[in-house]
Amino acid sequence: MAQLRAELLGKVSARITEVTGRAEIADAVTRFLRNTAETTVSEQPDGTTFVITGDIPAMWLRDSAAQLKPLLYLLDDAPELLGLLNGLLLRHWRYISIDPYANAFNLEPNGHGHHSDRTPMDPIVWERKWEIDSLTYGIDFAYTLWKSAGSTDWCEATFRVAAARIVQTFTTEQDHEHRSSYTFRRGGRFASGRNTLNRHGKGRLTRPTGMVWSAFRPSDDACEAGFNVPGNFYAAQAMRQLAEIARELLHDDTLAADADRLHREMSDGLADHASVEGPGGTEIFAYEVDGFGGSALLDDANVPSLLSLPYLGCVDVDDPVYQATRKFLLSPRNQYYFQGTAAKGIGSPHTPRNHVWPIALAVQGLTAATAEEQAEIIALLLDTTGGTGMMHESFHVDDPTRFTREWFSWANSMFCELVLVHCGYRLGGGRSPEYLPQA
Protein backbone atom coordinates (compact mmCIF):
# COMPACT_ATOMS: atom_id res chain seq x y z
CA MET A 1 0.00 0.00 0.00
CA ALA A 2 1.08 3.58 -0.62
CA GLN A 3 2.11 5.90 2.18
CA LEU A 4 1.97 9.69 2.47
CA ARG A 5 4.68 11.37 4.51
CA ALA A 6 3.57 12.68 7.90
CA GLU A 7 5.49 15.87 7.13
CA LEU A 8 3.44 16.40 3.95
CA LEU A 9 0.11 15.79 5.69
CA GLY A 10 1.13 18.09 8.52
CA LYS A 11 1.94 20.87 6.10
CA VAL A 12 -1.39 20.41 4.30
CA SER A 13 -3.26 20.35 7.61
CA ALA A 14 -1.61 23.54 8.84
CA ARG A 15 -2.45 25.42 5.64
CA ILE A 16 -6.09 24.30 5.65
CA THR A 17 -6.50 25.19 9.31
CA GLU A 18 -4.97 28.61 8.74
CA VAL A 19 -7.23 29.40 5.77
CA THR A 20 -10.50 27.97 7.07
CA GLY A 21 -10.03 28.42 10.79
CA ARG A 22 -11.47 24.92 11.29
CA ALA A 23 -9.16 22.12 12.34
CA GLU A 24 -11.90 19.56 11.69
CA ILE A 25 -11.77 20.35 7.96
CA ALA A 26 -8.02 19.79 7.94
CA ASP A 27 -8.50 16.57 9.88
CA ALA A 28 -11.05 15.29 7.34
CA VAL A 29 -8.79 16.05 4.38
CA THR A 30 -5.74 14.36 5.88
CA ARG A 31 -7.83 11.36 6.96
CA PHE A 32 -9.29 11.01 3.47
CA LEU A 33 -5.91 11.38 1.76
CA ARG A 34 -4.42 8.77 4.07
CA ASN A 35 -7.43 6.48 3.62
CA THR A 36 -7.17 6.63 -0.17
CA ALA A 37 -3.44 6.02 -0.17
CA GLU A 38 -3.41 3.22 2.39
CA THR A 39 -6.61 1.32 1.64
CA THR A 40 -7.36 1.72 -2.08
CA VAL A 41 -3.91 2.00 -3.68
CA SER A 42 -1.45 -0.81 -4.29
CA GLU A 43 1.81 -0.27 -6.14
CA GLN A 44 2.59 -3.34 -8.21
CA PRO A 45 6.00 -4.97 -8.86
CA ASP A 46 5.66 -4.10 -12.56
CA GLY A 47 5.62 -0.36 -11.78
CA THR A 48 1.88 0.09 -12.24
CA THR A 49 -0.61 1.35 -9.66
CA PHE A 50 -3.88 -0.48 -8.98
CA VAL A 51 -6.68 1.48 -7.27
CA ILE A 52 -9.90 -0.10 -6.01
CA THR A 53 -12.99 2.09 -5.92
CA GLY A 54 -13.61 1.48 -2.21
CA ASP A 55 -16.16 -1.11 -1.21
CA ILE A 56 -15.81 -2.91 -4.57
CA PRO A 57 -12.46 -4.68 -5.16
CA ALA A 58 -12.12 -3.53 -8.77
CA MET A 59 -10.54 -0.56 -10.53
CA TRP A 60 -12.76 1.82 -12.47
CA LEU A 61 -10.75 3.86 -15.00
CA ARG A 62 -12.72 7.04 -14.23
CA ASP A 63 -12.86 6.63 -10.47
CA SER A 64 -9.20 5.76 -10.07
CA ALA A 65 -8.05 8.95 -11.80
CA ALA A 66 -10.47 11.04 -9.74
CA GLN A 67 -9.41 9.29 -6.53
CA LEU A 68 -5.76 10.25 -7.03
CA LYS A 69 -6.33 13.69 -8.54
CA PRO A 70 -5.90 15.54 -5.19
CA LEU A 71 -2.30 14.32 -5.17
CA LEU A 72 -1.65 16.37 -8.32
CA TYR A 73 -2.10 19.51 -6.21
CA LEU A 74 0.61 18.35 -3.79
CA LEU A 75 3.43 17.57 -6.22
CA ASP A 76 5.40 20.72 -5.42
CA ASP A 77 5.68 19.51 -1.83
CA ALA A 78 5.80 15.78 -2.63
CA PRO A 79 7.56 15.00 -5.93
CA GLU A 80 7.99 11.43 -4.70
CA LEU A 81 4.33 10.89 -5.66
CA LEU A 82 5.20 11.04 -9.36
CA GLY A 83 5.99 7.32 -9.51
CA LEU A 84 2.62 6.43 -8.01
CA LEU A 85 0.74 8.70 -10.44
CA ASN A 86 2.66 7.58 -13.50
CA GLY A 87 1.99 4.00 -12.42
CA LEU A 88 -1.74 4.69 -12.42
CA LEU A 89 -1.55 5.78 -16.05
CA LEU A 90 0.57 2.80 -17.06
CA ARG A 91 -2.18 0.53 -15.74
CA HIS A 92 -4.82 2.61 -17.56
CA TRP A 93 -2.99 2.10 -20.84
CA ARG A 94 -2.62 -1.64 -20.22
CA TYR A 95 -6.34 -2.04 -19.56
CA ILE A 96 -7.42 0.10 -22.50
CA SER A 97 -5.13 -1.90 -24.78
CA ILE A 98 -6.92 -5.07 -23.69
CA ASP A 99 -10.49 -3.73 -24.00
CA PRO A 100 -11.33 -0.06 -24.64
CA TYR A 101 -15.03 -0.77 -24.06
CA ALA A 102 -14.62 -1.93 -20.46
CA ASN A 103 -15.12 0.47 -17.55
CA ALA A 104 -13.77 -1.61 -14.64
CA PHE A 105 -11.00 -4.17 -14.26
CA ASN A 106 -9.53 -6.78 -11.94
CA LEU A 107 -5.95 -6.70 -10.73
CA GLU A 108 -5.33 -10.06 -12.41
CA PRO A 109 -7.23 -12.04 -15.10
CA ASN A 110 -9.20 -13.97 -12.48
CA GLY A 111 -12.68 -13.76 -14.04
CA HIS A 112 -14.21 -11.86 -11.11
CA GLY A 113 -17.02 -9.41 -11.80
CA HIS A 114 -20.07 -9.47 -14.06
CA HIS A 115 -19.06 -12.35 -16.29
CA SER A 116 -22.64 -13.46 -16.85
CA ASP A 117 -23.25 -10.31 -18.92
CA ARG A 118 -23.94 -10.92 -22.58
CA THR A 119 -20.95 -9.10 -24.05
CA PRO A 120 -17.42 -10.37 -24.80
CA MET A 121 -15.53 -10.41 -21.48
CA ASP A 122 -11.79 -10.86 -20.96
CA PRO A 123 -11.00 -12.47 -17.56
CA ILE A 124 -9.27 -9.26 -16.44
CA VAL A 125 -12.46 -7.23 -17.01
CA TRP A 126 -14.77 -6.68 -14.04
CA GLU A 127 -17.48 -4.88 -16.02
CA ARG A 128 -17.83 -4.01 -19.72
CA LYS A 129 -20.15 -1.04 -19.75
CA TRP A 130 -19.00 1.28 -22.53
CA GLU A 131 -18.70 4.78 -21.05
CA ILE A 132 -17.00 7.50 -23.05
CA ASP A 133 -15.41 9.07 -19.98
CA SER A 134 -13.48 5.87 -19.23
CA LEU A 135 -11.14 6.78 -22.09
CA THR A 136 -10.86 10.50 -21.34
CA TYR A 137 -9.89 10.61 -17.68
CA GLY A 138 -6.50 9.03 -18.29
CA ILE A 139 -5.60 11.37 -21.15
CA ASP A 140 -6.59 14.42 -19.13
CA PHE A 141 -4.65 13.13 -16.11
CA ALA A 142 -1.57 12.47 -18.26
CA TYR A 143 -1.78 15.88 -19.90
CA THR A 144 -2.06 17.58 -16.50
CA LEU A 145 0.86 15.55 -15.14
CA TRP A 146 2.95 16.62 -18.13
CA LYS A 147 2.00 20.29 -17.97
CA SER A 148 2.03 20.73 -14.20
CA ALA A 149 5.03 18.59 -13.28
CA GLY A 150 6.88 18.02 -16.54
CA SER A 151 6.48 14.27 -16.04
CA THR A 152 6.23 12.04 -19.11
CA ASP A 153 7.18 8.65 -17.68
CA TRP A 154 3.65 7.53 -18.57
CA CYS A 155 4.41 8.12 -22.28
CA GLU A 156 5.79 4.76 -23.37
CA ALA A 157 5.00 1.96 -25.80
CA THR A 158 1.76 0.86 -24.16
CA PHE A 159 0.48 4.43 -24.33
CA ARG A 160 0.91 4.41 -28.10
CA VAL A 161 -1.21 1.28 -28.31
CA ALA A 162 -3.86 2.65 -25.94
CA ALA A 163 -4.01 6.02 -27.75
CA ALA A 164 -4.60 4.26 -31.06
CA ARG A 165 -7.36 2.14 -29.48
CA ILE A 166 -9.00 5.25 -28.03
CA VAL A 167 -9.01 7.04 -31.40
CA GLN A 168 -10.28 3.91 -33.15
CA THR A 169 -13.06 3.40 -30.59
CA PHE A 170 -14.20 7.03 -30.68
CA THR A 171 -14.24 6.96 -34.49
CA THR A 172 -16.28 3.76 -34.55
CA GLU A 173 -18.80 5.05 -32.03
CA GLN A 174 -19.40 8.26 -33.99
CA ASP A 175 -21.69 6.01 -36.06
CA HIS A 176 -22.74 3.33 -33.64
CA GLU A 177 -25.54 2.00 -35.83
CA HIS A 178 -23.38 1.10 -38.83
CA ARG A 179 -19.81 0.71 -37.54
CA SER A 180 -20.04 -0.76 -34.05
CA SER A 181 -20.31 -4.37 -32.97
CA TYR A 182 -20.63 -3.45 -29.28
CA THR A 183 -23.69 -4.79 -27.50
CA PHE A 184 -24.49 -5.25 -23.83
CA ARG A 185 -27.22 -7.18 -22.05
CA ARG A 186 -27.39 -8.00 -18.35
CA GLY A 187 -29.44 -10.87 -17.04
CA GLY A 188 -30.49 -12.08 -13.62
CA ARG A 189 -31.55 -9.94 -10.70
CA PHE A 190 -29.58 -6.89 -11.98
CA ALA A 191 -31.34 -6.80 -15.35
CA SER A 192 -33.15 -3.52 -14.78
CA GLY A 193 -33.57 -0.88 -17.47
CA ARG A 194 -30.66 1.13 -16.07
CA ASN A 195 -28.27 -1.84 -16.02
CA THR A 196 -28.81 -3.10 -19.55
CA LEU A 197 -29.38 -1.88 -23.12
CA ASN A 198 -32.60 -2.32 -25.05
CA ARG A 199 -32.91 -3.10 -28.76
CA HIS A 200 -31.00 -6.38 -28.42
CA GLY A 201 -28.19 -4.72 -26.57
CA LYS A 202 -27.66 -1.88 -29.05
CA GLY A 203 -29.36 0.90 -27.08
CA ARG A 204 -31.76 3.57 -28.28
CA LEU A 205 -31.57 4.40 -32.00
CA THR A 206 -29.36 7.40 -32.78
CA ARG A 207 -28.27 9.34 -35.84
CA PRO A 208 -24.64 10.47 -36.38
CA THR A 209 -23.85 13.98 -35.15
CA GLY A 210 -20.05 14.02 -35.02
CA MET A 211 -20.25 13.23 -31.32
CA VAL A 212 -19.31 9.85 -29.83
CA TRP A 213 -22.06 7.46 -28.77
CA SER A 214 -21.92 6.06 -25.23
CA ALA A 215 -23.85 3.09 -23.88
CA PHE A 216 -23.69 4.11 -20.23
CA ARG A 217 -23.37 7.26 -18.15
CA PRO A 218 -20.63 7.93 -15.57
CA SER A 219 -23.11 6.55 -13.04
CA ASP A 220 -22.91 3.16 -14.84
CA ASP A 221 -26.61 3.62 -15.76
CA ALA A 222 -27.70 3.19 -19.38
CA CYS A 223 -27.84 6.33 -21.48
CA GLU A 224 -31.32 7.48 -22.41
CA ALA A 225 -30.47 9.24 -25.67
CA GLY A 226 -27.06 7.92 -26.75
CA PHE A 227 -24.90 11.03 -27.02
CA ASN A 228 -23.91 12.09 -23.52
CA VAL A 229 -23.22 15.82 -23.76
CA PRO A 230 -20.83 16.37 -20.81
CA GLY A 231 -19.00 13.18 -21.76
CA ASN A 232 -18.53 14.51 -25.29
CA PHE A 233 -17.33 17.89 -24.05
CA TYR A 234 -14.70 16.12 -21.96
CA ALA A 235 -13.75 13.73 -24.77
CA ALA A 236 -13.40 16.57 -27.29
CA GLN A 237 -10.99 18.27 -24.92
CA ALA A 238 -9.09 15.00 -24.45
CA MET A 239 -8.66 14.71 -28.22
CA ARG A 240 -7.18 18.21 -28.34
CA GLN A 241 -4.81 17.18 -25.55
CA LEU A 242 -3.96 13.91 -27.30
CA ALA A 243 -3.15 15.76 -30.53
CA GLU A 244 -0.66 17.93 -28.65
CA ILE A 245 0.85 14.90 -26.93
CA ALA A 246 1.14 13.08 -30.26
CA ARG A 247 2.93 15.99 -31.93
CA GLU A 248 5.25 17.02 -29.10
CA LEU A 249 6.00 13.77 -27.28
CA LEU A 250 5.34 10.97 -29.76
CA HIS A 251 6.23 12.86 -32.97
CA ASP A 252 3.33 11.01 -34.57
CA ASP A 253 1.67 13.26 -37.14
CA THR A 254 -0.89 10.62 -38.12
CA LEU A 255 -2.17 10.16 -34.56
CA ALA A 256 -2.19 13.94 -34.09
CA ALA A 257 -4.25 14.41 -37.25
CA ASP A 258 -6.74 11.73 -36.20
CA ALA A 259 -7.12 13.30 -32.74
CA ASP A 260 -7.49 16.77 -34.28
CA ARG A 261 -10.22 15.46 -36.57
CA LEU A 262 -12.11 13.92 -33.66
CA HIS A 263 -11.79 17.11 -31.63
CA ARG A 264 -13.13 19.16 -34.53
CA GLU A 265 -16.01 16.82 -35.38
CA MET A 266 -17.06 16.37 -31.77
CA SER A 267 -16.88 20.12 -31.14
CA ASP A 268 -18.98 20.78 -34.25
CA GLY A 269 -21.50 18.17 -33.10
CA LEU A 270 -21.74 19.80 -29.69
CA ALA A 271 -22.21 23.22 -31.29
CA ASP A 272 -25.02 21.87 -33.48
CA HIS A 273 -26.83 19.59 -31.03
CA ALA A 274 -25.90 20.14 -27.36
CA SER A 275 -27.90 23.33 -26.76
CA VAL A 276 -31.69 23.12 -26.55
CA GLU A 277 -34.55 25.28 -25.36
CA GLY A 278 -35.03 24.82 -21.65
CA PRO A 279 -37.84 25.79 -19.27
CA GLY A 280 -38.90 29.39 -19.80
CA GLY A 281 -37.41 29.46 -23.28
CA THR A 282 -33.78 29.83 -22.19
CA GLU A 283 -30.98 28.10 -24.09
CA ILE A 284 -29.35 25.40 -21.97
CA PHE A 285 -27.21 22.31 -22.47
CA ALA A 286 -29.05 19.00 -22.69
CA TYR A 287 -27.59 16.09 -20.73
CA GLU A 288 -28.07 13.72 -23.66
CA VAL A 289 -29.26 13.98 -27.26
CA ASP A 290 -30.04 11.38 -29.92
CA GLY A 291 -29.34 13.22 -33.21
CA PHE A 292 -33.01 13.19 -34.18
CA GLY A 293 -33.96 16.18 -32.01
CA GLY A 294 -34.68 14.19 -28.87
CA SER A 295 -32.98 15.16 -25.64
CA ALA A 296 -32.83 14.48 -21.90
CA LEU A 297 -32.97 17.56 -19.66
CA LEU A 298 -31.35 16.69 -16.36
CA ASP A 299 -27.97 16.35 -14.76
CA ASP A 300 -26.45 13.38 -13.01
CA ALA A 301 -24.29 13.66 -9.92
CA ASN A 302 -21.39 11.74 -11.45
CA VAL A 303 -18.58 13.52 -13.32
CA PRO A 304 -18.45 14.41 -16.17
CA SER A 305 -21.69 16.28 -15.58
CA LEU A 306 -23.09 19.47 -17.04
CA LEU A 307 -22.43 21.23 -13.74
CA SER A 308 -18.78 20.15 -13.89
CA LEU A 309 -17.94 21.56 -17.34
CA PRO A 310 -15.87 24.55 -16.08
CA TYR A 311 -14.18 22.37 -13.47
CA LEU A 312 -13.12 20.01 -16.26
CA GLY A 313 -11.89 22.95 -18.35
CA CYS A 314 -14.46 22.37 -21.11
CA VAL A 315 -16.35 25.68 -21.01
CA ASP A 316 -15.81 29.06 -19.41
CA VAL A 317 -17.68 29.49 -16.15
CA ASP A 318 -19.13 32.77 -17.48
CA ASP A 319 -20.46 31.15 -20.66
CA PRO A 320 -24.10 32.31 -20.80
CA VAL A 321 -25.41 28.88 -21.85
CA TYR A 322 -23.52 27.27 -18.98
CA GLN A 323 -24.85 29.83 -16.51
CA ALA A 324 -28.41 29.27 -17.71
CA THR A 325 -27.85 25.52 -17.47
CA ARG A 326 -26.44 25.87 -13.97
CA LYS A 327 -29.48 27.86 -12.87
CA PHE A 328 -31.74 25.14 -14.23
CA LEU A 329 -29.73 22.29 -12.70
CA LEU A 330 -29.68 23.82 -9.21
CA SER A 331 -33.45 24.21 -9.13
CA PRO A 332 -36.48 21.96 -8.72
CA ARG A 333 -36.93 22.11 -12.51
CA ASN A 334 -34.13 19.53 -12.67
CA GLN A 335 -35.95 16.31 -11.79
CA TYR A 336 -32.89 15.07 -9.90
CA TYR A 337 -32.44 18.16 -7.74
CA PHE A 338 -33.62 17.45 -4.22
CA GLN A 339 -33.92 19.63 -1.14
CA GLY A 340 -34.80 18.90 2.45
CA THR A 341 -34.11 19.92 6.02
CA ALA A 342 -30.46 18.74 6.03
CA ALA A 343 -29.28 19.47 2.50
CA LYS A 344 -30.14 20.36 -1.07
CA GLY A 345 -28.32 19.38 -4.23
CA ILE A 346 -28.16 17.11 -7.25
CA GLY A 347 -28.84 13.39 -6.99
CA SER A 348 -29.04 10.63 -9.58
CA PRO A 349 -31.41 8.06 -11.06
CA HIS A 350 -28.76 5.59 -9.86
CA THR A 351 -29.78 6.13 -6.22
CA PRO A 352 -33.12 6.59 -4.41
CA ARG A 353 -35.12 9.79 -4.76
CA ASN A 354 -34.40 12.58 -2.26
CA HIS A 355 -30.77 11.46 -2.04
CA VAL A 356 -28.10 13.99 -2.99
CA TRP A 357 -24.49 13.16 -3.81
CA PRO A 358 -21.41 14.59 -2.07
CA ILE A 359 -19.66 14.42 -5.46
CA ALA A 360 -22.23 16.78 -6.95
CA LEU A 361 -22.00 19.11 -3.95
CA ALA A 362 -18.21 19.19 -4.31
CA VAL A 363 -18.58 20.03 -8.01
CA GLN A 364 -21.02 22.80 -7.11
CA GLY A 365 -18.33 24.19 -4.83
CA LEU A 366 -15.59 23.81 -7.44
CA THR A 367 -17.66 25.83 -9.91
CA ALA A 368 -18.98 28.36 -7.38
CA ALA A 369 -18.70 32.10 -7.93
CA THR A 370 -17.59 32.98 -4.41
CA ALA A 371 -15.36 31.62 -1.68
CA GLU A 372 -18.32 32.00 0.69
CA GLU A 373 -20.38 29.51 -1.32
CA GLN A 374 -17.43 27.13 -1.31
CA ALA A 375 -17.11 27.42 2.45
CA GLU A 376 -20.83 26.75 2.92
CA ILE A 377 -20.64 23.58 0.83
CA ILE A 378 -17.54 22.36 2.66
CA ALA A 379 -19.37 22.82 5.96
CA LEU A 380 -22.47 21.07 4.60
CA LEU A 381 -20.45 18.08 3.44
CA LEU A 382 -18.72 17.82 6.79
CA ASP A 383 -22.07 17.94 8.61
CA THR A 384 -23.80 15.24 6.53
CA THR A 385 -21.60 12.18 6.92
CA GLY A 386 -24.27 10.47 9.01
CA GLY A 387 -21.92 10.12 11.95
CA THR A 388 -19.40 8.03 10.00
CA GLY A 389 -16.90 10.81 9.30
CA MET A 390 -16.71 9.67 5.65
CA MET A 391 -18.27 10.84 2.41
CA HIS A 392 -20.88 8.51 0.92
CA GLU A 393 -22.25 7.88 -2.53
CA SER A 394 -25.49 9.64 -1.56
CA PHE A 395 -27.49 10.60 1.52
CA HIS A 396 -31.10 11.55 2.26
CA VAL A 397 -31.81 15.27 2.26
CA ASP A 398 -33.77 15.00 5.52
CA ASP A 399 -31.68 12.36 7.29
CA PRO A 400 -27.95 11.96 6.50
CA THR A 401 -27.84 8.71 8.49
CA ARG A 402 -29.71 7.19 5.53
CA PHE A 403 -27.04 6.80 2.88
CA THR A 404 -25.78 4.54 0.10
CA ARG A 405 -22.25 3.10 0.17
CA GLU A 406 -20.57 3.54 3.51
CA TRP A 407 -17.16 3.78 1.85
CA PHE A 408 -16.87 5.63 -1.46
CA SER A 409 -13.33 6.77 -2.13
CA TRP A 410 -14.20 9.00 -5.11
CA ALA A 411 -16.44 11.16 -2.91
CA ASN A 412 -13.70 11.46 -0.29
CA SER A 413 -11.28 12.66 -2.95
CA MET A 414 -13.73 15.20 -4.34
CA PHE A 415 -14.08 16.69 -0.87
CA CYS A 416 -10.29 16.88 -0.60
CA GLU A 417 -9.98 18.59 -3.98
CA LEU A 418 -12.65 21.15 -3.09
CA VAL A 419 -10.90 22.06 0.15
CA LEU A 420 -7.47 22.21 -1.48
CA VAL A 421 -8.75 24.56 -4.20
CA HIS A 422 -10.57 26.63 -1.58
CA CYS A 423 -7.27 26.98 0.27
CA GLY A 424 -5.35 28.16 -2.79
CA TYR A 425 -3.76 24.96 -4.09
CA ARG A 426 -3.51 25.05 -7.89
CA LEU A 427 -2.52 22.78 -10.75
CA GLY A 428 -0.12 23.86 -13.47
CA GLY A 429 -0.76 24.08 -17.20
CA GLY A 430 -3.83 26.28 -16.93
CA ARG A 431 -6.02 23.33 -15.89
CA SER A 432 -7.01 24.60 -12.43
CA PRO A 433 -10.23 26.60 -11.93
CA GLU A 434 -8.34 29.85 -11.54
CA TYR A 435 -11.56 31.86 -11.75
CA LEU A 436 -12.38 30.82 -8.19
CA PRO A 437 -11.65 33.42 -5.52
CA GLN A 438 -9.18 32.60 -2.79
CA ALA A 439 -10.60 31.93 0.65
Residues 422 and 429: their CA atoms lie apart, in Å, by: 19
Q: Which of 297, 327, 362 finishes a domain?
A: 297
**pLDDT at position 2:** 72
Is residue 55 located within the same domain as residue 6?
no
Sorting pLDDT into bands at 50, 70 and 90, what band is 428?
low
Do both 122 and 214 map to the same domain? yes
Query: How confident is the model at residue 368, as a pLDDT?
Result: 97
- Give yes or no: residues 22 and 77 share one domain: no
pLDDT at 69: 98
Is the per-residue pLDDT at 125 higher than 80?
yes
Q: What is the residue range of 375's domain?
A: 1-39+337-439
* Tens of pLDDT, residues 404-417: 998 899 999 999 99
Query: What is the model's pLDDT at position 188?
Result: 79
CATH code at 56?
1.50.10.10
Nearest residue to 169 via CA among 49, 50, 69, 259: 259
Say how many C-beta atoms besides its own lie within 10 A of residue 7's C-beta. 10
313 found inside a domain: no
Same domain, 189 and 288: yes
For the entire predicted model, the pTM comes to 0.96
* C-alpha separations of 117 from 102, 103, 130, 204, 305 in Å: 12, 14, 13, 19, 27
The pLDDT value recorded for residue 13 is: 98
| Average pLDDT over every residue of 199-208 | 92
Pair (343, 428) in one structural domain: yes
Residue 357 reports pLDDT greater than 60: yes
Residue 328 counted as domain residue: no
Q: What is the pLDDT averaged over residues 82-111? A: 98
Asked whether residue 21 is assigned to any structural domain, the reply reads yes
Structure confidence by residue, pLDDT tens digits, 323-355: 999 999 999 999 999 999 999 999 999 999 999
Tell me, yes or no, whether 195 lies in a domain: yes
Say yes or no: 73 and 29 in one domain. Answer: no
- pLDDT tens digit sequence for 258-285: 999 999 999 999 999 999 999 989 999 9
Q: Domain check: are 97 and 178 in the same one? A: yes
Determine the pLDDT at residue 1.
55
Q: How many domains does the chain have?
A: 2
Boundary of a domain, candidates 297, 329, 355:
297
pLDDT over 90 percentage in the chain: 92
Q: What is the pLDDT of residue 330?
A: 98
Domain co-membership, 6 together with 21? yes
Question: Taking a C-beta distance cutoff of 8 angstroms, is the pair 377, 331 a contact?
Answer: no
Q: How far apart are CA 27 and CA 17, in angstroms?
A: 9
In this structure, are 69 and 204 located in the same domain?
Answer: yes
> What pLDDT does residue 280 have?
86
Q: Are 64 and 80 found together in one domain?
A: yes
| Average pLDDT across the chain, whole number | 95
Same domain, 141 and 290: yes
Shared domain for 361 and 228, answered yes or no, is: no
Q: Is residue 206 part of a domain?
A: yes
Task: Assess if residue 422 is contained within a domain.
Answer: yes
Q: Is 308 inside a domain boundary?
A: no
Question: Can you tell me the distance from the alpha carbon of 275 to that of 256, in angstroms, rounded to the nearest whole number?
Answer: 28
In a domain, 218, yes or no: yes
